[in-house]
A and B are shown apart, each in its own frame.
Chain A
Amino acid sequence: DQQVKQNSPSLSVQEGRISILNCDYTNSMFDYFLWYKKYPAEGPTFLISISSIKDKNEDGRFTVFLNKSAKHLSLHIVPSQPGDSAVYFCAASEGYGGSQGNLIFGKGTKLSVKP
């Protein structure tokens, strides 16, 4: 059973507007969450992360929100730019600070930002 779910395979947004990508998880032991961006024919690149002791983390145009009670996190991109068009993966880990730090990935959401 999928432990990390990205239920929207694709999302289309107008340039300058907000993009909201969603991710749900089932394992209540997950304590660290990450977002990666992937362009075609390239490796995933780390975007932003959040620890379970926080409910928000910001980095420039990117903000991640964590709702532990709902087991839900979201990535907000404001304002969206055409260069943000990519596949976004949500990932989660249990006990990341200690052990091997294995990540469980969602299936990804393809974001298209239209000029």
Chain B
Amino acid sequence: DAGITQSPRHKVTETGTPVTLRCHQTENHRYMYWYRQDPGHGLRLIHYSYGVKDTDKGEVSDGYSVSRSKTEDFLLTLESATSSQTSVYFCAVRAAYEQYFGPGTRLTVT
């Protein structure tokens, strides 16, 4: 499982509140990614990181920010959650030529 944990695993929050999701890895991978999965859309890249303090936007980055102050932690923040951000969020790391995913966080914005 590439030593990836995500927290929380489930969260319900109200529109307009800030939310932070955490991804933690134990194997010192340089590259880390945040995806969201929605019915009919597959997996879409939100943001990624190629090192401590080095991040960049993905396909669906609007409304999201990220931070990586340590190799092992990659945080995804929804500054003001909206109902359209209800989704399942997956973190991934890159090892060799493949990416390995965490178990996911199911976020519901009411």
Residue numbers of A with Cβ under 8 A of B are: 6, 32, 34, 36, 41-46, 49, 89, 91, 96-97, 100-103, 105-108
Contact = CB atoms under 8 A, between A and B. Distances in A.
Interface of B: 4, 31, 33, 40-45, 48, 50, 56, 58, 90, 92, 94, 97-104
A96 B99 CA distance: 11
A108 B42 contact: yes
A43 B42 contact: no
B31 A42 contact: no
Contacts of B43: 44, 89, 91, 103, 105
A45 B103 CA distance: 10
Contact of A43 (B41, B98, B103): B103
A42, A96, A102, A106, most chain B CB atoms within 10 A? A102
Contacts of B100: 45-46
Contact of A42 (B50, B99, B104): B104
B107 to A, nearest CB: 14
SS class, residues of chain A in contact with chain B: loop
Contact of B103 (A32, A42, A46): A42
A103 to B, nearest CB: 6
A108 B102 CA distance: 18
B25 to A, nearest CB: 13
Contacts of A96: 97
Given A42-B103, A44-B90, A89-B42, A102 B97 contact: no
Contacts of A106: 42
Contacts of A32: 97
A100 B104 contact: no
Nearest to B56: A100
Nearest to A107: B42
Given A43-B104, A44-B43, A89-B42, A103 B50 contact: no
Contacts of A36: 101
A89 B41 CA distance: 11
Nearest to A90: B42
B48 A102 contact: yes
Nearest to B50: A100
